[in-house]
Structure 1
Amino acid sequence: DEDKRKNIYRFVCPHAGQFLCNLTSLVFVMESEGEVLYRVVSWNPGLLDGLGQMKPAGPLYNIDCFNGSISGLHLPHCEIFCEENKDSLAVARFTGGNVEIMKPFKVTETHVMIDIRDLSHFGLLKRMIFPPSPVIAQVLLFLRPITVRQRENILDVHLLPWNVPLSKVKDQHTENTHIKTSSKCSLTPESEYHLCCQPEESTVQPASETFECNYGPNYHPTFEVFVDVNKKEIRLSLLDKTGREVWEPRRIVLTGQDVEPPAYRRDELIRRVSSVMTIADGLRTKDMIPDEIYSKVHAAEPRQEKTRLLLNALDSGGAAVKAEFYKLLKNEEPHLVDELESGPSRPQQF
């Protein structure tokens, strides 16, 4: 489970054994049943300054265990091993303002394994004694909400190490829509890359950017892509400075991916939604309905007529406006949304 308000992950272990977290790829070796709470925290620059050539190679996790005990921890890495870097990884354990460098007892193609006795902050470190070598990376795509006056879709493109949890990036961009695609690739830190977009009239900024192994606390987009709002799909690829494709062309659909809200019966919404003006206020604040429509909704009576007029506006607003309506409705009337999603009123489009 994930407590999104506090970015805390919670895992209840039913018995002894090894258990994989699907959100972070952490593996916990449990000696008995118990409850584990863990979260990503920021690396302390002051403590890192004293580590010389060792740099973060993964997120830093604060781990606590209740009613049980953890005897081992497997931290995911993104290294592509060769003869030079096969022994480059270690684990940092931070406690009481001090740092302990732990040597793993085993390193696999995906994880670094350590035995632990006491819990605190754990994170991967890499010895930077050789020139940067390729790592497994990911290309994450987030579509920004579109307003009624906007003539372009804006797509944020993030280049990140493979072991950065997707859920952590989503937490910082909740207003945007994550577009799922095959994201895995191989990138070299401190190397420049160029994002190519078709159709050619689309705009990509910047022209090129250097890939860094960023482990937070902030995850800003590496590239921004501006696409005509009438374009329903584009093709994206990533090139290195020699022009070689490191992320082959992908077909990216800009509508219909986690954008459309659940389809409810229109008459059910008109009859049952009580927070119509609060929702209209939210849409107006984000510039998703024109002032003229808002005024009509505000002046209409009774409440059902307000809802009918607002739903009419959604039909011309597009998928992003409908998605924002659903988000606001879920915030204001969660019990109604639960009923609509589980009941027979879902199949029709409003």
Structure 2
Amino acid sequence: MESVGHVSDSVPNRSASADLLLPSASGLRRRDRSDSSPSVLCPLIHQDPPPDVSILPRAASLPSMKLQSSFEEFTPGFCGDPDDETYRFQCSGPGLYQCRVSGLVFAMKGGGDVFYRVVPWNRTLLSPHGKKPAGPLFDISCLQQSVAQLHLPHCEVRSTGPCHFLSVAHLHDGGVEFIRPERITETHIIISISGFSAFGNVKDEDSPADPVRALVLLFYRPAADPESEHEINVLMLPKNVVLNNVLRFRRKLDENERFLETPPDCKLQPNQVYSLSVSPGGDSVLVQPKEAEFDAESYENYVSTFQVVYEETMKHIRLSLTDSSSCSVWDRRVCLSAAGVRRSCGPTRQNLSPKEQLMEIRINFKDGVSGPVLQSLLDNLLKEKVINDSEMEEVAAERTRGEKARLLVDTVRRKGDDASSKMIHFLCELDPFLSEHLGLM
């Protein structure tokens, strides 16, 4: 497969604009993985029907890339504006790396900056060939051309069959190509690539209607005043959606909505009709609609499947999703008394003092902050005289990134609210993504 020489005006070339993106970096943590192998490279989306389509043979593996039994997780940096969210992975060398946000796995043959984002599917490119989306469409670019393979997350249940109906669509301004996977693991489709544009999982339109791994997500809208009604919006989505995109979409619909962190995993059957029941119920609780189909292709519009409306304040509520044979497929007890503690982007800590906020995020900050962001934090805090030279040297002398981060938090929070506020301000500027998920924004 050849690299794409130029791209459509409808989607800007991420490689060309890389110097305009923020320099936020990634933090890595090793995790064992028994069924995983190298990752991918990508092209860009075209909005008009292509002149041709080709079915590509199974991509050949690069001889320099060996199967690996482990990968490193990273939290990507955030680039771009809220309406065009682009992630950045700064890789220092060869290896297998998984993004905590998207689930993508990159097999890198060397260092480089990888930029990627979710872009809309143009279904008119797929339907003439009997294909439909089976995952998000990712626009990926890397100036250094150092991505060897891509692992795209899927949501199929492999125990129901070998998944021969899955392939990867490669969209570019010359047409669309369907790549046969090198391998399909329990969670990912693996392909090798030699260019960049847009890649996404697709499946045959006549593929078996077997259950897929799915998510049931809850969003709570509190009553505006004592006379108003409370609402819980219930979404049924395929498991390989990018959750951060869902949260961003819902936040744009209603800034007052709160994401309820309840275990979301279940298995749902495409086009199956499901119903939602609520306890306690009665005349004061309304569920609408009574029944709804599960759309396994919901990768762009994250609108409510069900809505629960009630008047009186409740501490807890039980939600149960059942199929057409009245079998429960998802059942959860939801704590509503703590619903105001969580916004759709992270835990809200605005009611705490700055030094209390640092104490609350201490552990998650230690685990999530990247090395480059930590170093920039130190530089900014030293410049603003929040810490002195000896304190900076003391942090730098710690053996691991986690120990450095923990000592920095403890050093700053002991100096009081003014120092803590400055550290929070710098962290929000340097790593908005991490800051949102820590509840600082």
Normalised to the residue count of structure 1, the TM-score between the two structures is 0.73
Q: 1:190 aligns with which of 267, 271, 279?
A: 271
Q: Distance in 1 between matches of 2:335 and 2:273?
A: 23
Distance change (3 Å), C-alpha of 1:8 and 1:92: same
Distance change (3 Å), C-alpha of 1:35 and 1:130: closer
Q: Distance in 2 between matches of 1:337 and 1:206?
A: 47
Q: Which runs of 5+ in 1 are unaligned?
A: 267-334, 343-350
Partner of 1:2: 78
Distance change (3 Å), C-alpha of 1:83 and 1:196: closer
Q: 2:249 aligns with which of 156, 166, 172?
A: 172
Aligned residues: 273
Distance change (3 Å), C-alpha of 1:105 and 1:76: same
Deviation at 1:102, TM superposition (A): 0.3
Partner of 2:386: none
Q: Which moved more, 1:78-87 or 1:6-15?
A: 78-87
For 1:171, what is the secondary structure of its paired residue?
helix
Partner of 1:300: none
Deviation at 1:45, TM superposition (A): 2.2
Partner of 2:150: 73
For 1:173, what is the secondary structure of its paired residue?
helix
Alignment of 1:273-292 (within 5 A): none
Distance change (3 Å), C-alpha of 1:336 and 1:222: farther
Q: What's the Cα RMSD here?
A: 2.3
For 2:341, what is the secondary structure of its paired residue?
coil
Partner of 2:175: 98
Q: Deviation digits for residues 38-91 of structure 1, max 9, x if unmatched? A: 111111122122222x21100001001123511100000000124655211100
For 1:170, what is the secondary structure of its paired residue?
helix
**1:144, 1:177 within 8 Å by CA — same for their partners in 2?**
yes
**2:113, 2:142 within 8 Å by CA — same for their partners in 1?**
yes
For 1:230, what is the secondary structure of its paired residue?
coil
Q: Distance in 1 between matches of 2:267 and 2:351?
A: 39
Partner of 1:257: 341
1:34 and 2:125 correspond: no
**1:151, 1:229 within 8 Å by CA — same for their partners in 2?**
no
**1:264, 1:340 within 8 Å by CA — same for their partners in 2?**
no
| Runs of at least 4 residues off by over 6 Å | none
RCO (CA 8 Å, sep 6+): is it higher in 1 or 2?
A: 2
Alignment of 1:279-318 (within 5 A): none
Deviation at 1:130, TM superposition (A): 4.2
Partner of 1:23: 101
Deviation at 1:7, TM superposition (A): 1.3
Query: What amino acid does structure 2 have at the position aligned with 1:249?
Result: R
Q: 1:181 aligns with which of 246, 262, 266?
A: 262
Q: Deviation digits for residues 121-175 of structure 1, max 9, x if unmatched? A: 0000112334411000000111125312543211111000000011010011111
Query: What amino acid does structure 1 have at the position aligned with 2:199?
Result: F
1:247 and 2:357 correspond: no
Q: Distance in 1 between matches of 2:143 and 2:207?
A: 41
Distance change (3 Å), C-alpha of 1:85 and 1:127: farther
Alignment of 1:100-115 (within 5 A): 100-115=177-192
Q: Which moved more, 1:215-224 or 1:15-24?
A: 215-224
**1:35, 1:68 within 8 Å by CA — same for their partners in 2?**
no
For 2:245, what is the secondary structure of its paired residue?
helix
Q: Distance in 2 between matches of 1:337 and 1:234?
A: 37
Distance change (3 Å), C-alpha of 1:337 and 1:189: farther
**1:31, 1:68 within 8 Å by CA — same for their partners in 2?**
no
Q: Deviation digits for residues 222-247 of structure 1, max 9, x if unmatched? A: 01111234212211111001110001
Q: Distance in 2 between matches of 1:18 and 1:229?
A: 51
Q: Distance in 2 between matches of 1:336 and 1:157?
A: 41
Q: Which runs of 5+ in 2 are unaligned?
A: 1-76, 355-417, 426-441
**2:135, 2:299 within 8 Å by CA — same for their partners in 1?**
no
**2:160, 2:210 within 8 Å by CA — same for their partners in 1?**
no
Partner of 1:63: 140
Query: What amino acid does structure 2 have at the position aligned with 1:236?
Result: L
Partner of 2:410: none
Deviation at 1:336, TM superposition (A): 10
Query: What amino acid does structure 2 have at the position aligned with 1:24?
Result: S
Partner of 1:288: none
1:148 and 2:148 correspond: no
Query: What amino acid does structure 2 have at the position aligned with 1:27?
Result: V
Normalised to the residue count of structure 2, the TM-score between the two structures is 0.58
Q: Distance in 2 between matches of 1:68 and 1:118?
A: 8
Deviation at 1:10, TM superposition (A): 1.2
Q: Distance in 1 between matches of 2:352 and 2:136?
A: 40
1:232 and 2:326 correspond: no
Distance change (3 Å), C-alpha of 1:241 and 1:337: farther
For 1:67, what is the secondary structure of its paired residue?
coil
Distance change (3 Å), C-alpha of 1:100 and 1:172: same
Q: Distance in 1 between matches of 2:224 and 2:308?
A: 16
Deviation at 1:262, TM superposition (A): 2.7
Q: Distance in 1 between matches of 2:314 and 2:423?
A: 32
Q: Deviation digits for residues 15-34 of structure 1, max 9, x if unmatched? A: 11111010110001111111
For 2:106, what is the secondary structure of its paired residue?
strand
**1:33, 1:68 within 8 Å by CA — same for their partners in 2?**
no
Amino-acid identity (%):
37
Q: Deviation digits for residues 266-309 of structure 1, max 9, x if unmatched? A: 9xxxxxxxxxxxxxxxxxxxxxxxxxxxxxxxxxxxxxxxxxxx
Q: Distance in 2 between matches of 1:68 and 1:216?
A: 28
Distance change (3 Å), C-alpha of 1:233 and 1:67: same
Partner of 1:14: 92
Partner of 1:163: 240
Distance change (3 Å), C-alpha of 1:263 and 1:95: same
